[in-house]
Structure 1
Amino acid sequence: MTVVIDPAFDPVPSLERSTRVSVSHRPPEGPGATAVFVASEGELPGGASRIGREALAAAGFTGAANQTLLLPGAPLRVLVGTGEKGIETDAQLRDAVAAFARAAREAGSLAVDLTDLLASGDWDAGIAVQAAIEGAVLARYRYDALKGDPSTVALDELMLQIAEEHAEAAEFGVERGLVLARTAALARDLANTPPRHLSAVKFAEVIERLAPEFGLEAKVFDRQALIELGAGGLLGVNAGSVEEPRMIKVSYRPADPDGHLALIGKGIMYDSGGISLKPSNAMHAAMKFDMMGAAAVFSSMTALRELGVATAVTGWLMCTDNMPSGSATKLGDVLTIRGGKTVEVKNTDAEGRLVMADGLVLATEDDSVADRRPDAIVDIATLTGAAMMALGTRTAAMLANNDAVAAQLEAAAEATDENIWRFPLDHRYRDQLKSSTADLSNIGGQYAGVILAALFLGEFVDGTPWGHLDIAGTMQAESDDLWRSAGSTGFGARLLAEFAAAFEKPRVEEADTEAGETAEDSEPC
């Protein structure tokens, strides 16, 4: 039976919040706190010059990057260190503004003067304004839907000062900054929601409600529809659960689209590991985040209309929990994926690739845009513990069968400071996925876990240009870290939105990039 917590519970509270952004060449009036950027060397800015470096050093402030010192007064002044060279990139600006917003956590209105930064002539004002907005808004993100007392003062207003000549470019930056910050916050809301409050069924209901607000169309496939589609991967993972699975197809269709992009998101609403039960440790407790791929895909698509994306985009969200029970898929069972390929299940905790396989096949069959298959497919999943072991918690793994897709993903990662690192799609490991009873096994041995997972997924893309993002390591922040708030990071939502906004049809390549090494997939997600 399904346990209903509160049918009125809203898992996306951030959509009810909004931050006003004002941009002017005049000094802001009445902010609660204002930022003063201070390099570790050179002349001190006006807000700190009267104090002197010796006094600042005595207070422990050296001007190191993102170091802060509060100077009481009205308004509160927050010194923010910018290191030896000052702020040189949009990522550094995003971080510095985030450090300021966190330090001034009790202030509902913040002021940031970008005049001197833009006066250098090295900056695009729109990019600077966008980065500042993202830093402030995302740093002050909070998930308190289940708290009686909010843990953070809401950021009501951000006041940015720039020279009048930059006003037009700044307007563009304001729009993009607010849209992309909302996109990441939405993904965070969805992933932070406890699994009992956000089942696959509830997730589908949320998407059906929200999709029209953002110019999207949603079609939900229930268990019976999935049986008729032959989606054996998703159904097999769901077999041990009392909750029904859902596949949600989300479509964005601009007028006269100049291409078609498919996005596939892993939506394991909670991953116990199934029969291959995870140990009861901190990683097990974090498995509510195992649906972050699906959250990132949907959230990114809410930005497409406002960003003016000209490419048609179709999202496939593969949603279920993975639970142990008397009806659960067993080790040695064979599942039939959409399209007929069979998979022997050697580890039920390597379930993400099973649900993604159905989505990838369906994406390759989709000719709903100009009677053509997608020009490219990108999937995103919290897929392997190996990705975390290899790259830690700040960089996601990326693999691709097409260099143009890889390059576009890398450009989007650079723009958003959501770091990715390309691994080789090394086909020399393909034999490790062989099975004596089926076409494939869902795991492939002790080593090369990131690559093997991608090779498995690559079996289902039918030659379509394809990129794969393994975000297992980047799915959460254990504590507040600049613009990454504790809990779900929302990683991938902004990246995919920027990727779609700049998407260009790739040329189909005859050969994949090969060779390389990787870490062991010690604990699949």
Structure 2
Amino acid sequence: MDFELKTLDAAGAAAEKSDVLLVLVTEGFKAGKDAVSKLVTSALAARDLEPKAGKLLQAYRCEGIAAPRVLLAGAGDGSGKKIQAAVAAAAGVLRASAAKKLTILLPAGSGDEAVRAAVCATAESSYVYVTTKSKPEGRELKKVVVGVADAGAGRQAFGRAKAAATGIEFARELGNLPPNYATPTRLGEEAKKLAKNHGFKVEVMGPKEVEKLGMGSFMGVAKGSSEPLRFIVLRHEGGAKGDAPVVLVGKGITFDSGGVSIKPSADMDEMKFDMGGAASVLGTFRALGELKPKVNVVGIIPSCENMLDGSSYKPGDILTSMSGQTIEVLNTDAEGRLILCDALTYAERFKPKAVVDIATLTGACVIALGGVRSGLFASDDALAGQLQAAGDAALDPVWRMPLDDEYSEGLKTNFADVANVAGRAAGAVVAAKFLQRFTPNYPWAHLDIAGTAWKSGAGKGSTGRPVGLLLEFLLAQEGGAVTKGQGKAARSKAAA
């Protein structure tokens, strides 16, 4: 989809040639003498339109307006969240119209937040998955003009929004692919394509290389599948040579049967989305390729299937992780933490500024937070604050969860250094405490996206979250951000 940022007021929007003109109307709407203003004023006066976010009114062939279809959408106070809601509400009408060119007139005084929300919401609402359909119906919308009072002032925000939209769509497409398409091998190939197209460094390792690294925990999970594992490392070197990188670690379970601790059959097809963390890392690198920020970023993706056959790992097995810590497997459906722990140990070699892992890790996080906010766990307060701020700015919110040492009690075992599960209580926190054991030497955060990486029901599909958050966070690192040594007291609890 082609986006264009253009200087437009209401009169300019009235003259803009397009199939649909979408006018976002705020509570403080101020009318001019142009045709668009007159239409909005009349609609508000007649109470046919409310400026409340999500309220819509359609008009056709209005005098003085070049676009044959006009859609008025309430945008509340004009905040990014309300702009997002307004565009989402208009999505159904836009799809039914088969419009190829859309002009969006943002409210007067709209800033960067509104521009970002309009671009990302339009891209999100117009996305259609067609890859594996025999007669695909592609999206009709090809061109979107975003009208603002001063296009020059919003140019940087617009560029970032386009990159975010591109990265989110890339992650959604990978997430939506069926598991016989999106194999660990395919993820490695996608990483290589990104590296070739955008100048990243890449290394894709297979079983032999992973065995040499001593990743016994990762290898244990992969044993039950005929699909070979892949350990993917991408590097964007946009910062100075000596600058410590931010490391993103994405869980890449391309299908999760639960292993010997097999899942119920209902909705098991959705376990193709268990590589949402990996997809978000690849999507973030796709966006980095567009923007090329002056920051060093490493993306690490441990990827395999969790299947069951005669060679599968089983409850009671003891695995030896790359860190040397031994792990008693009590549930083979708690596999994500077993592949991530080796990746988190591997991340140490980059002497990172910070490490953020992203994983569809626990159903417990879905119970706690639903599909609105991702769970945030962090050993470093500065890092947690930056991720929260990035999530708010990207309209991709998180909620910080605790990491008290007492939550580790249930992971004690008589037979290894740690068990991979405890009881049902506080399952998301206990999983995070397990991961924290493998992060003693750097600021670390964990994003549990089990509730936000995909949607079920009629709108089933990948969301591409948290690409928007991750990109916003990384762009903020150009100015320094996470400071070495901050959160030391919190990090010292990792060995508990």
Q: Same fold (TM over 0.5)?
A: yes
Q: Counterpart of 2:332 in 1: which secondary structure? A: coil
2:258 is aligned with 1:267? no
2:195 is aligned with 1:211? yes
In structure 1, what residue type is equivalent to 2:123?
V
Q: Is the 8 Å Cα contact of residues 440 and 491 (structure 2) preserved in structure 1?
A: no
The 5 A counterparts of 1:82-93 are 82-83=75-76, 86-87=77-78, 89-93=79-83
Q: Call closer, same or farther: CA 1:502–1:52 in 2, change over 3 Å.
A: closer
CA distance in 2, matches of 1:42, 1:318: 51
Range with bigger deviation, 464-473 or 150-159: 150-159
Q: Call closer, same or farther: CA 1:91–1:490 in 2, change over 3 Å.
A: same
Range with bigger deviation, 291-300 or 205-214: 205-214
Q: How far 1:53 sits from its partner (Å)? A: 4.9
Q: Is the 8 Å Cα contact of residues 191 and 289 (structure 1) preserved in structure 2?
A: yes
Q: Is the 8 Å Cα contact of residues 166 and 286 (structure 2) preserved in structure 1?
A: no
The equivalent residue for 1:100 is 90
CA distance in 1, matches of 2:346, 2:174: 24
2:17 is aligned with 1:30? yes
2:369 is aligned with 1:391? yes
2:354 is aligned with 1:376? yes
Range with bigger deviation, 190-199 or 505-514: 505-514
2:473 is aligned with 1:495? no
Match of 1:365 among 341, 349, 353: 349
2:468 is aligned with 1:506? no
Q: Call closer, same or farther: CA 1:81–1:151 in 2, change over 3 Å.
A: farther
Q: Is the 8 Å Cα contact of residues 308 and 501 (structure 1) preserved in structure 2?
A: no
2:59 is aligned with 1:67? no
2:122 is aligned with 1:136? yes
What are the Cα deviations for residues 479-522 of structure 1, in whole angstroms up to 9, with x where unaligned?
Answer: 68xxxx7410001112111111112233423322999xxxxxxx
Q: How far 1:41 sits from its partner (Å)? A: 8.8
In structure 2, what residue type is equivalent to 1:201?
T
CA distance in 1, matches of 2:286, 2:3: 20
In structure 1, what residue type is equivalent to 2:483?
P
CA distance in 1, matches of 2:102, 2:473: 30
CA distance in 2, matches of 1:78, 1:479: 28
The equivalent residue for 1:411 is 389
CA distance in 2, matches of 1:459, 1:315: 21
Q: How far 1:253 sits from its partner (Å)? A: 0.8
Q: Counterpart of 1:262 in 2: which secondary structure? A: strand
CA distance in 1, matches of 2:223, 2:446: 26
CA distance in 2, matches of 1:168, 1:496: 26
Q: How far 1:319 sits from its partner (Å)? A: 0.3
Q: How far 1:40 sits from its partner (Å)? A: 6.9
Q: Is the 8 Å Cα contact of residues 222 and 245 (structure 1) preserved in structure 2?
A: yes
The equivalent residue for 1:15 is none
CA distance in 2, matches of 1:421, 1:70: 38
Q: Counterpart of 1:117 in 2: which secondary structure? A: coil
Match of 2:261 among 276, 298, 320: 276
Q: Is the 8 Å Cα contact of residues 331 and 421 (structure 2) preserved in structure 1?
A: yes
Q: Counterpart of 2:399 in 1: which secondary structure? A: strand
Match of 2:224 among 228, 240, 260: 240
The 5 A counterparts of 1:290-309 are 290-309=274-293
2:432 is aligned with 1:454? yes
Q: Call closer, same or farther: CA 1:77–1:266 in 2, change over 3 Å.
A: same
CA distance in 1, matches of 2:57, 2:293: 41
The equivalent residue for 1:285 is 269
Q: Is the 8 Å Cα contact of residues 91 and 416 (structure 1) preserved in structure 2?
A: no
CA distance in 1, matches of 2:27, 2:386: 35
CA distance in 1, matches of 2:491, 2:216: 30
Match of 2:318 among 319, 334, 337: 334
CA distance in 1, matches of 2:367, 2:186: 33
2:10 is aligned with 1:20? no
CA distance in 1, matches of 2:269, 2:52: 35
What are the Cα deviations for residues 208-253 of structure 1, in whole angstroms up to 9, with x where unaligned?
Answer: 1222212211101101111111111211111110110001011111
Q: Is the 8 Å Cα contact of residues 454 and 460 (structure 2) preserved in structure 1?
A: yes
CA distance in 1, matches of 2:236, 2:29: 51
CA distance in 1, matches of 2:492, 2:395: 26
Q: How far 1:67 sits from its partner (Å)? A: 2.5
Q: Counterpart of 1:302 in 2: which secondary structure? A: helix
What are the Cα deviations for residues 152-176 of structure 1, in whole angstroms up to 9, with x where unaligned?
Answer: 533211112223xx23222223211
TM-score, with structure 2 as normaliser: 0.90
State the aligned residue count.
472
The equivalent residue for 2:108 is 117
Q: How far 1:304 sits from its partner (Å)? A: 2.2
Q: Is the 8 Å Cα contact of residues 262 and 314 (structure 1) preserved in structure 2?
A: yes
The equivalent residue for 2:72 is 79
Q: Is the 8 Å Cα contact of residues 304 and 501 (structure 1) preserved in structure 2?
A: no
Q: Percentage identity across aligned positions?
A: 36
CA distance in 2, matches of 1:513, 1:344: 24
In structure 1, what residue type is equivalent to 2:148?
I
What are the Cα deviations for residues 448-503 of structure 1, in whole angstroms up to 9, with x where unaligned?
Answer: 111110110000012310011000011112368xxxx7410001112111111112
Q: Is the 8 Å Cα contact of residues 425 and 514 (structure 1) preserved in structure 2?
A: no
Q: Is the 8 Å Cα contact of residues 269 and 289 (structure 1) preserved in structure 2?
A: yes
Q: Call closer, same or farther: CA 1:254–1:55 in 2, change over 3 Å.
A: closer
The 5 A counterparts of 1:175-254 are 175-254=159-238
Match of 2:407 among 402, 405, 429: 429
In structure 2, what residue type is equivalent to 1:133?
V
The equivalent residue for 2:146 is 160
What are the Cα deviations for residues 90-123 of structure 1, in whole angstroms up to 9, with x where unaligned?
Answer: 2222332233244211212111122x422xxxx4
CA distance in 2, matches of 1:412, 1:51: 37
CA distance in 2, matches of 1:432, 1:255: 42
TM-score, with structure 1 as normaliser: 0.85
Q: Is the 8 Å Cα contact of residues 336 and 359 (structure 2) preserved in structure 1?
A: yes
Q: Call closer, same or farther: CA 1:161–1:62 in 2, change over 3 Å.
A: closer
CA distance in 1, matches of 2:178, 2:292: 33
Q: How far 1:397 sits from its partner (Å)? A: 0.5
Range with bigger deviation, 135-144 or 328-337: 135-144
CA distance in 1, matches of 2:457, 2:46: 32
Q: Counterpart of 1:279 in 2: which secondary structure? A: coil
CA distance in 1, matches of 2:30, 2:298: 52
User: Which residues of structure 1 form unaligned runs of 5+?
Assistant: 1-17, 367-372, 516-525
